Structure 1
């Protein structure tokens, strides 16, 4: 690509496109996000694991073993069949797949194993064979590279071979017997294969994703990552000091982590970050980026300003200079006399350590540099000689007052205030995507996602046509056969066959609308057949339900005419409405049933199930409120009596057992004496 990176050419939408590795990776992650529906949930036990060292060969892996087989068979096919497999990408890809399969088979079989590919090129079938010993001879140079990272690992960790208690291997390529033998020979012990070689890394990644995601709750699992490649900073020199280099993050340094570096500068300066060991980095360029700290100026007294730069490696291992600030001294005035006496001129300390060009403050990730603390560490000048002499010369308050009258008032001395000024940083990154380029990639991926959505809709429309053809063809010889006449039956079958042929010929790659139109054409004929079948299934059930409701309301009307006590409270005019509705609906049902009986099954029905359902609803709404009227409540009888004598109030008596309908009767001398002459008046409803 133009920036020196790796590009991948692919055919997309009948055009050749060039995608970067970052774009392809983003596409892969997006696809994985769409297809991942089930999440792996495994119990987690408490454990503490430390990674003492890492070593690897970026140019040694399973693909290299596959390439050895591919090169061997390409040469064999060129001699044996006069075919150049490398001239056709599709043929070469098929050869890669077969060689990978052969490699896996040789891991468990030491005998000769065949390799057969049909119609490899020019309609020719090719074949070959290979055994494990031949394969190990082909890969002898690769097998020698296995021990190199092992020696490097032991050197990093400062361990001896006897200090290693167990060796566990993961990865598909570790199944090759020669690889296992090399590792076992180096450590002098049998190797363990208890982990799933193919899924061990994937499960670890899934667990880490669950830890980072707020949508999942997992047991607390603290992971401290490490910086695999040491990172250094180099800064440009000024007129007084030479260029400097400092390693800010060593190999296997904890991450995420932040450090604060202090520089003494009079103007803007530049920092360049790079990997300290270019040979160990699997990238063509060791530089990370250039960072320019702007708006730096000297102090008002001409001295250098202290600039604090915060460098950080985040949880993804990405290095950046996050913030920069300048410590500036600003004079202020105080109104209080005591503050004036305590205020003293500040000067930079006469400390040889400050002459150094850089200071390093280690801090935990996420903490801020201690700007105020650094400012407070500056030394203070001794008290002014004027104040000292005055204290020695004036022994009492009277003389002091006389002197103050004679002398003019003393000017207030300024107090120095330390201010932290944020500085802008211009970042020129080498391998990290710029904002404009990143936005362009996001926009391109968005367009591709939309195109995938349109393609899915097109395929769904095509599949709907194909599904409709197969479904109706089967049902025309089954349940739908009676609901279409013979002539239409033959014509529709012919149309279904023609549509199927069209799908596999000129209609194989059509626009979405073409499939939608084709489906509508089929449904114009098929839908009436389907409706007739469904009506024939539902209509008898609806007629039966309607008949039951008619019988129910007709019986109630008959009971009313027979003076049944259950319905004698209903008004006669209301019941006539019920009888009228029942007669009308019954007449309608008899008419449509007779008309439907004259129709054949392949004709459209006279009445549909929904119409019958509507009649049932109409009948219920008319009759149900009438026949379900509750009987009026009968009030309980009340007794009244009038007593002779001065008390003329009416009292209610208990006329029925324990049922008291009023107050207690009057008492005389503690006993109840009912009046024999009292009359009982009862109101009956």
Structure 2
């Protein structure tokens, strides 16, 4: 079944594409929303709803918002800002290699986990939910990631999927997934020959803001431009309310929630509820918390106007993101046909007003704000699944950051090139030609440091080896194919050495040589086949490379007989004594990638640990179910002793 996971910082959704349409799967609590929480106990771990229910009672061992940490180092300014602005109740420390470690009390003592392990645990839970709902094993999934995720973060998400026993067919950008769910069911989209319908998608989640302009035709969508603020989401509005009431309670009740993590969490929970109520009501809304601190009950009030005044700074940041998107896309509001808003925090009235102010269009809520991304992911899975029939609809995403490739240059060439500019269509491959006499290294990095939300702009290094200077030429011709794949990850797909060689063709070996030519032709034809997903310019370039030197035609039987009859002729003997034939020999070169991702051994070790934790959870669940069954039996028998079995009971 084509399954899609929407992995959020606060909540997750699972959707499946069936013959009758797309369904969102309920969890064991009959809720479609599965919180992104993992809680650790002495005997097992809890994930999802049960984990969130323990965020107060099991404060220091309940982990949330760990998606912000995957693929990052502890010293990353982004991580440090996260820990400063939103302090965590659990321990976050630096590992020996600079990685992030989350420390909790689990089983018989303190244990440490990486954010990737936490993500794998959450993915395991979503896998179990989908398997329980579908009554079948789930392996192939499409998982959502924010548009601003970099190469290293996308690789980390793929690693987490592998640890959870999932085959991630694609990591899909949130905005693109929402756009797919919107476009594939629209009946009024223009034909290929007509002007595209441009739609803005605004996705405001718990921690981040993402916007995109997407062009639609009947059979395809193309992402034209994207913009985002990774540190602006619904929780920022909650924080403003919590900070206000924390100061208010400090002045009126002499209690400081900033010094007590449990009190602060309770306050933030109430402020989130207050924010939702103010979105639906204009009048003043009360907030009441019993036994807040020092056995004191606290109360307060706020209305929407006051809330918008407090949030003025955040609203200005949102407006800037919208304006920058229009500038980057070089489009005016008259070019836009609609604006769709999704995300859990999109219901705030002031945000809707901003959308209408900047884009000049009233925001539409055609899509389910919470489930749109998960539904789009399941549709993408169905498109990728060969056993599932979906109408033709192609997806062309956009590269959010420009990528530059650099190398050790010779005297005649440049040392770097911007291969994939910002908003370049992906997936996409390009072929580069190098002339080398020895192994060389390619280094990929993001071009503009200020555009990327990570301190290290390096993507990876790729070593091309086993290159030797050819006998008859000054240098070897090496064609390197680089690609940004459908996951938004940069790779060096292949490196091919093309060597022109001269072979001697003697009359006595004419038949044998003819066989060699046939084999060479067959090989060239096979190599000239168009790989799936390749772009036409690259295929043409490779074909030209293969046919640079024309092949010598094969000898016929008549030619051989004529040569034999003219054996006595000195002139013919001189011509047939030796012939030289030029061929293009293609050799695949080994490529060693040095990219920041887990090794196979590390993944296998984490898979083993995850399986051990799954077994521990299963055993504890079976033990709890058995205890409940015994208790149920005791109560049932007690009732029957005084009713159905009463005639058979004798007093001792």
State the TM-score, normalized to the length of structure 2.
Answer: 0.62
Aligned twin of 1:134:
306
- Please give the alpha-carbon distance, in whole angstroms, between the structure 2 residues aligned to 1:177 and 1:419: 66
Aligned twin of 2:277:
105
Once the two structures are superposed, the pairs formed by residues 316-355 of structure 1 within 5 Å of their partners are: 316-336=487-507
SS of structure 1 residue aligned to 2:263 = helix
Change (3 A) 1:336 1:402: closer
Once the two structures are superposed, the pairs formed by residues 325-404 of structure 1 within 5 Å of their partners are: 325-336=496-507, 365-366=533-534, 371=542, 373-377=544-548, 404=571
SS of structure 2 residue aligned to 1:328 = strand
- Please give the alpha-carbon distance, in whole angstroms, between the structure 1 residues aligned to 2:404 and 2:386: 34
Change (3 A) 1:21 1:152: same
Change (3 A) 1:236 1:436: farther
1:187 and 2:187 are equivalent in the alignment:
no
- Please give the alpha-carbon distance, in whole angstroms, between the structure 1 residues aligned to 2:316 and 2:575: 90
1:170 equivalent among 332, 342, 347: 342
- Please give the alpha-carbon distance, in whole angstroms, between the structure 2 residues aligned to 1:233 and 1:219: 37
Give, in angstroms, the shift of residue 459 of structure 1.
Answer: 1.4
- Please give the alpha-carbon distance, in whole angstroms, between the structure 2 residues aligned to 1:372 and 1:189: 49
Aligned twin of 2:633:
468
- Please give the alpha-carbon distance, in whole angstroms, between the structure 2 residues aligned to 1:265 and 1:65: 57
Give, in angstroms, the shift of residue 485 of structure 1.
Answer: 1.9
Comparing both structures, which one devotes a greater share of its residues to strand? 2
- Please give the alpha-carbon distance, in whole angstroms, between the structure 2 residues aligned to 1:276 and 1:466: 65
- Please give the alpha-carbon distance, in whole angstroms, between the structure 2 residues aligned to 1:118 and 1:281: 44
Aligned twin of 1:451:
616
Aligned twin of 1:420:
586
1:248 and 2:416 are equivalent in the alignment:
no
| Residue-by-residue CA offset, 1:462-486 (whole Å, 9 max, x unaligned) | 2122212222222222212222322
- Please give the alpha-carbon distance, in whole angstroms, between the structure 2 residues aligned to 1:145 and 1:6: 29
- Please give the alpha-carbon distance, in whole angstroms, between the structure 2 residues aligned to 1:125 and 1:278: 50
Aligned twin of 1:266:
437
Mapped contact 1:260–1:363 kept (Cα < 8 A): no
Once the two structures are superposed, the pairs formed by residues 526-541 of structure 1 within 5 Å of their partners are: none
Aligned twin of 1:429:
595
Once the two structures are superposed, the pairs formed by residues 219-234 of structure 1 within 5 Å of their partners are: 219-234=391-406
Q: Which runs of 5+ in 2 are unaligned?
A: 1-93, 135-180, 188-217, 515-529, 552-565
Change (3 A) 1:400 1:191: closer
1:290 equivalent among 461, 473, 484: 461
Mapped contact 2:341–2:364 kept (Cα < 8 A): yes
What's the RMSD between the two structures over aligned residues? 3.5
Aligned twin of 1:567:
none
Once the two structures are superposed, the pairs formed by residues 587-666 of structure 1 within 5 Å of their partners are: none
Q: Number of residues paired by the alignment?
A: 448
Mapped contact 1:327–1:371 kept (Cα < 8 A): no
- Please give the alpha-carbon distance, in whole angstroms, between the structure 1 residues aligned to 2:384 and 2:643: 56
- Please give the alpha-carbon distance, in whole angstroms, between the structure 2 residues aligned to 1:154 and 1:260: 32
Q: Which runs of 5+ in 1 are unaligned?
A: 344-361, 381-398, 488-685
- Please give the alpha-carbon distance, in whole angstroms, between the structure 2 residues aligned to 1:235 and 1:169: 43
SS of structure 2 residue aligned to 1:223 = strand
Comparing both structures, which one devotes a greater share of its residues to helix? 1
Give, in angstroms, the shift of residue 234 of structure 1.
Answer: 0.9
1:24 and 2:118 are equivalent in the alignment:
yes
SS of structure 2 residue aligned to 1:54 = strand
| Residue-by-residue CA offset, 1:55-104 (whole Å, 9 max, x unaligned) | 11112111211121222223333344443434443333222221111111
Aligned twin of 1:151:
323
Mapped contact 1:371–1:420 kept (Cα < 8 A): no
| Residue-by-residue CA offset, 1:559-600 (whole Å, 9 max, x unaligned) | xxxxxxxxxxxxxxxxxxxxxxxxxxxxxxxxxxxxxxxxxx
Aligned twin of 2:212:
none
Mapped contact 1:10–1:18 kept (Cα < 8 A): yes
2:250 equivalent among 64, 78, 83: 78
Mapped contact 1:372–1:418 kept (Cα < 8 A): no
Change (3 A) 1:60 1:182: same
SS of structure 1 residue aligned to 2:492 = strand
- Please give the alpha-carbon distance, in whole angstroms, between the structure 1 residues aligned to 2:474 and 2:639: 94
Aligned twin of 2:647:
482
Could you say which structure has the greater relative contact order, defined with CA pairs below 8 angstroms and 6 or more residues apart? Answer: 2
Name which of structure 1's ranges 254-263 and 87-96 shifts more when overlaid on structure 2: 87-96
Give, in angstroms, the shift of residue 305 of structure 1.
Answer: 0.5
